[in-house]
Amino acid sequence: MGVMIEGRFSAEDPGPSTDEHGRFVRAKAPLTEAPPGDAAPGDLHLFAAWNCPWAHRVLLTRAILGLDEMTVSYALPRRTEQGWVFAEEPLLRATAMHEVYAAGVDAYTGRITVPVLWHKPSGRALNNESAEIVRMLGDLFAPGRLVPDDKRAEIDEWNDLIHRAVNNGVYRAGFAETQEAYEEAAREVFAALDQIDEKLGRTRYLTGDALTEADIRLFPTLVRFDVAYHGAFKCNLKRLIDYPNLWPYARDLYQTPGAAETVRFDIYKAGYYSPSPKRNPLGIVPIGPEVDWTAPHGRA
C-alpha cells in the first residue's frame, strides 16, 4: 500500500497494525473535506479499486444514485512496491496512487489508500474516508433518499454495528496474530450476521421497505464473503448461503439496478488470495465456490 510522510512516498509499508494482544487496528483516514455545496456530479472524480470493499461502497452509491457524470479511475487489483498502480488513469495520467496524493494534497502524511474523492475544479483530493464520501454523496445529490430523517438514528446504529463487527470484523479476523484475537473477531462477525439475519426475517431491508445507506455499507462484505472471507480470512463458521434471510437479501441487493456492475468476483479471489507470507505464501487462488447470485430472491 505504501505510505507518505510530508509528501514523500515510501514503499516500506509497515503492513497491518496490531495491538499488544495481536488484534488488528485500522488506521483512520486523514482527508475529511466535503465537496462544495454547489458541486455537480461532473465536478467530482473517484479513485477506486475493484477489489477494495471500502471503495466498493462508494461505487455502489454512485451506481444507485445514477451519478454517471462522476468519473472513476480504477487501480489494478494487485498492489506493487509502488502501492496501488494504474494501467491507465484518465484524469491525472498518474501511474500510481501516491502520485494522486502528491498532486492533490499539500505535504500529505498517511497511508496510500482508496477510495479518494477528487474535486476537478480545484484540482484537490477532498476525502479518503469511504463512509463520509457515501454520506456526502447522498446528502448532496439525493437528500433524504439514502438517509431519511426519520430513519437517521436507526441507520447510524446499523452502520456502527456493521462497520465494527462485519466490514472491519472480517479484517480483524483475517489479520489477527494470535488465536485469541482471531476467535474474538470471528465470533463477533457471526454474532452480528446472526442478528442481521434475524432482522431481515421481518423486513426487506435493514430499516424497512426501502434500501438505505446501511444496506449499501453491508453489501460489499456480503458479496465477498463466500468467495474470499470464508476461506482467506478464516471466517468459516457459516457461509453466506447458509443464512435463510441474509442470502436472499444479498441477492436482492445484487439484483438492484446498477449493483451487479460494481461487482467483480474474479478480482476478489485474485486479490484476497494474492501471495502473502502469513496468509497465502504460495499465492494459489481457489477455483470455487460456484454461487448463483442471479437466482430469484423472493423478497418484495
Does the active-site annotation cover 229?
Answer: no
Note the pTM of the prediction, 2 decimals: 0.94
Q: Looking at 52, 108, 182, 249, which residue is catalytic? A: 52
Q: Looking at 101, 171, 243, 272, which residue is catalytic? A: 171
Does the active-site annotation cover 235?
Answer: no
Q: What is the pLDDT along the chain (300 residues), one digit of tens a residue?
A: 688 888 999 887 666 666 676 675 656 668 999 999 999 999 999 999 999 999 999 999 999 999 999 999 999 988 899 999 999 999 999 999 999 999 999 999 989 999 999 999 999 999 999 999 999 999 999 999 999 999 999 999 999 999 999 999 999 999 999 999 999 999 999 999 999 999 999 999 999 999 999 999 999 999 999 999 999 999 999 999 999 999 999 999 999 999 999 999 999 999 999 998 888 999 999 999 999 999 999 998
Q: What is the DSSP letter of 56?
A: H
CB 52 within 8 A of CB 245: no
How far is it, in rounded angstroms, from Cα 78 to Cα 10?
Answer: 18
Q: How many CB atoms lie within 10 A of CB 144?
A: 12
Q: Is the C-alpha dihedral spanning 271, 98, 62, 30 positive or negative?
A: positive
* Cα distance between the two ends of the chain: 41
Our measurement of the distance from residue 157's CA atom to the centroid of its chain's CA atoms, rounded to an integer in Å, reads 18
3-state class percentages of the chain: helix first, strand second, coil last, to nearest 5? 40, 15, 45
